Structure 1
Amino acid sequence: MRRPLVPRMSGGAWLLLPVLAAGCGGPSLQDEPQALAACPAEPQPFADHVVSYSPGPNAGFGQDAFPGIVLGPPHGGGASAGSLDVLSLGRGGEIVLEFTDIGVVDGPGVDLLVFENAFNSPIGPFVERGIVSVSEDGQTWHEFPCAFTDAAGGYPGCAGIKPVYSSPTNGVSATDPAVAGGDGFDLATLGVPRARFVRVRDAGNNSNGSPSSGFDLDAVAVVNGYALCQTP
Structure 2
Amino acid sequence: MDSKIFAALVAAISLCAPAAAQEAFATAVVDYLPGPGVLPTFADPATALHGPRGCGISCGALDVVTLGVGGQLTLGFDVVIQDGPGADLIVYENPFQADEAVPPGTFTEVVFVEVSSGGPFARFPSDYGGGAGPFSPYANFGWGAYDGLASAVPTLANVRTNTIDPLNPTVAGGTAFDLAHLANDPLVLAGRVNLKAITRVRLVDCVGGIDVDSNGDTIWDSGGSSGSADIDAVSVINYRGLVDSQQPTVDLHVDAQDRPLLSISDPDGLLDLDPNTLLISINLVPLSWIELLQLGVLTLESATPESVVLRVNGSLGHSYVLAASIEDLDGHFSTDQLMVK
Which bin holds the TM-score, normalised by the shorter protein?
A: 0.7 to 0.9
**In the alignment, does 2:87 pair up with 1:110?**
yes
| Structure 2 letter corresponding to 1:220 | V
Match of 1:133 among 94, 97, 114: 114
**Matched position secondary structure for 1:48:** strand
Matches of 2:18 and 2:182, distance apart in 1 = 29
* Residues 1:68 and 2:46 aligned together: yes
Aligned pairs, number: 185
Q: Name the CA distance, whole Å, in 2 between partners of 1:112 and 1:46.
A: 9
Kept in 1: contact 2:207–2:225 (CA 8 A): no
**Aligned residue type for 1:178:** T
Alignment of 1:161 with 2:152, yes or no, is yes
Aligned to 1:94: 72
* AA partner of residue 98 (structure 1): G
Q: 1:55 aligns with which of 23, 34, 44?
A: 34
Distance 2:126 2:18 in 1: 34
Task: State the 1:209 CA deviation.
Answer: 9.4
Distance 1:103 1:39 in 2: 20
What letter matches 2:108 in structure 1?
V
Which residue identity is paired with 2:95? A
Q: Offset at 1:193?
A: 2.8
Rounded to whole Å, the distance in 1 between the matches of 2:86 and 2:40 is 33
In the alignment, which of 125, 137, 142 is matched to residue 122 of structure 2? 142
Q: Which moved more, 1:152-161 or 1:45-54?
A: 152-161
Higher helix proportion, which one? 2
Structure 2 residue 187 is matched with structure 1 residue 187: no
Shift of 1:223: 0.3
Q: Are 2:32 and 2:45, in contact at CA under 8 Å, matched by a contact in 1?
A: no
Measure how far apart 1:125 and its partner are. Answer: 1.5
TM-score (norm 1): 0.73
Q: Using a 3 Å threshold, how does the CA distance of structure 1 residues 63 and 118 change in structure 2: closer, same or farther?
A: closer
Which runs of 5 or more residues in structure 1 are unaligned? 1-37, 228-232
Deviates more, 1:88-97 or 1:123-132: 123-132
Conserved 8 A contact 1:62-1:69: no
Distance 2:52 2:18 in 1: 22
Deviations along 1:158-183, whole A, 9 cap, x unmatched? Answer: 00120111002110011112211100
C-alpha contact 1:114 1:184 (8 A) present in aligned 2? yes
Structure 1: 4+ residue segments shifted above 2 A: 38-42, 60-64
Match of 2:207 in 1: 204
Matched-pair identity in %: 39
Alpha-carbon separation, structure 2, partners of 1:61 and 1:115: 21
Partner of 1:85: 63
Contact 1:111 1:185 in 2 (8 A): yes
State the Cα distance separating 1:40 from its structure 2 match.
5.8
Quick one: structure 1 residues 209 and 201, their matched pair in 2 at CA, closer, same or farther if it must change by over 3 Å? Answer: closer
Following the alignment from structure 1 to structure 2, what is the Cα–Cα distance between the partners of residues 119 and 63?
A: 18
Alignment check: 8 A CA contact 1:76 1:82 kept: yes
Aligned partners of 1:93, 1:39: CA distance in 2, in Å? 39
Q: 1:208 to 1:90 in 2, by over 3 A?
A: farther
5 Å-filtered alignment, 1:17-28, equals none
Show the counterpart of 1:223.
Answer: 237
One-letter code of the match for 1:177?
Answer: P
Aligned partner (choices 159, 165, 188) of residue 173 of structure 1: 165
Aligned residue number for residue 214 of structure 1: 228
CA separation of 1:218 and 1:42: change in aligned 2, threshold 3 A:
same
Cα deviation code 1:84-131 (max 9, x no counterpart): 0111111111010011x2121111110010001111113441111100
